[in-house]
Amino acid sequence: MRTATTIEASADFRRTADFILEAEKLGLDICWVAEAWGSDAVSPLGYLAARTERLLLGSGIIQLGTRSPVTIAQTAMTLAHMSGGRFLLGLGASGPQVIEGLHGVPFAYPLARMRETVEIVRSACTGEKIAFQGSHHAIPLPGGQGRPMRLSLEPVAVPIYLATLSPRMLQLTGEIADGWLGTSFVPERADAYLVHLDAGLARAGRSRSDLDICQGAEITIVADEGLLSEVIASRKKELAFSLGGMGSRTTNFYNRAYSRQGWQDIAALVLERWQGGDRVGATALITDEMVLATTLIGTEDMVRARLRMWQAAGVNTVRLYPGGETLQARLDNLGRGIDLIRDLEHDGA
């Protein structure tokens, strides 16, 4: 399994950049840069392309609707050339709260828009003239004065990863993507995702080996189980926000993902209380099991056992979100996670 992490550039980017430079020395394979409602992903990726030498660098993710498909292709090709071929394009639909509430563009039809965007980006990356007529994108603009054009950049292959959670979007990922950026993952209940990915792979005549399954979770390694309660309590607040606040009352993909993995009743109550303004009550509903099942929090033996289950479930790349109040604490958690994954690979060799 490869190792990865995800950063965001919204606060103290110098410290964040130092973290990534040190992570590269530790042997990390991939750095994904997030984009939500704070910093964009592209600017820090350009900086990191100049400062790193070996790391693969990915957008985790660029949100559909915030840029035209050709702008996304220009960005991907530019970063691929700047990084010497180390760029991975991560795309996601986001949700109506961000797309409509912040950017003021419609969220509707994310499945069709994702399919069309990927097709246009891949076409642009070949260096051929771009001509596309779809349900949501038309290039050139019909009835206008423009003719098909090609980008002046040298053609370059850019792997495309999709961040998806819903069954139909997962099927699309299996059908057209090079990788899947997953989250909220419970290896014991991996079929909640994998059956849909496999259906998409089969539709395209592909197999699991054609798709990089990249899963992410917080990693915090404690000396003994008596220290777990404080770490779990902190994570419960974040999980309650994901289930209750990451979306609207009617559209929350994280809530639905947890529901499909056996926590439907709790997820519904968390959403209800959070949307009603009772954030303390929503957090109180989150169980220790929900936290431990979807993270890499625990003693070294506990985390090693969870990683073995991830590996057995088919995860190819582990995205580590290291806990810690200081740079050194985060690097320590990350380094221990990388070592555990290397040990698993050595044991399986």
> In angstroms, rounded to a whole number, what is the distance separating the alpha carbons of residues 76 and 122?
10
Q: Are residues 249 and 118 in the same domain?
A: no
> Average pLDDT, stretch 168-193?
96
pLDDT of residue 261: 87
pLDDT of residue 348: 67
Q: Are residues 143 and 275 in the same domain?
A: no
Q: Are residues 308 and 291 in the same domain?
A: no
Q: Are residues 104 and 124 in the same domain?
A: yes
Q: Are residues 196 and 303 in the same domain?
A: yes
In the chain, % helix, strand, coil (3-state, to 5) comes to: 50, 15, 35
> Average pLDDT, stretch 206-226?
96
Q: Are residues 52 and 117 in the same domain?
A: yes
Domain with 186 in it: what CATH number? 3.20.20.30
> In angstroms, rounded to a whole number, what is the distance separating the alpha carbons of residues 130 and 74?
12
Q: Are residues 232 and 214 in the same domain?
A: no
> In angstroms, rounded to a whole number, what is the distance separating the alpha carbons of residues 1 and 342?
8
Average pLDDT, the chain: 95
pLDDT of residue 68: 97
Alpha helices (runs of H) in the chain, residue ranges in sequence order:
13-26, 42-51, 69-82, 96-99, 110-125, 167-176, 191-203, 228-245, 253-258, 264-275, 279-285, 288-293, 300-313, 327-348
Q: Are residues 71 and 206 in the same domain?
A: yes
> Average pLDDT, stretch 127-149?
97
248-280 pLDDT tens trace: 888 888 898 899 888 999 999 999 999 999 999
Q: Are residues 254 and 312 in the same domain?
A: no
Instruction: Flag the least confident range among 168-177, 209-218, 247-256, 263-272.
Output: 247-256
What pTM was estimated for this model as a whole? 0.94
Range of the domain at 227: 223-296
Number of domain units in the chain:
2
Q: Are residues 315 and 290 in the same domain?
A: no
Give the contacts of 282 (CB within 8 A, at least 6 positions apart).
240, 243, 244, 269, 270, 271, 273, 274
The answer to whether residue 349 scores a pLDDT higher than 80 is no
The answer to whether residue 115 scores a pLDDT higher than 70 is yes
Q: Are residues 124 and 257 in the same domain?
A: no
pLDDT of residue 252: 87
Q: Are residues 206 and 318 in the same domain?
A: yes
- Looking at 281, 296, 311, which one is the last position of a domain? 296
pLDDT of residue 192: 94
- Looking at 275, 296, 317, which one is the last position of a domain? 296
- Looking at 265, 280, 296, which one is the last position of a domain? 296
pLDDT of residue 346: 79
214-252: b or e for each residue (b if 16 or more CB lie within 10 Å)?
bbbbbbbbbeeeeebeebbeebbeebbbbbbbbbeeeeb
> Average pLDDT, stretch 197-216?
98
pLDDT of residue 10: 81
pLDDT of residue 11: 81
Residue 86 DSSP code: -
Share of the chain above pLDDT 70, in %: 99
Instruction: Flag the least confident range among 7-16, 142-151, 245-254, 262-271.
Output: 245-254
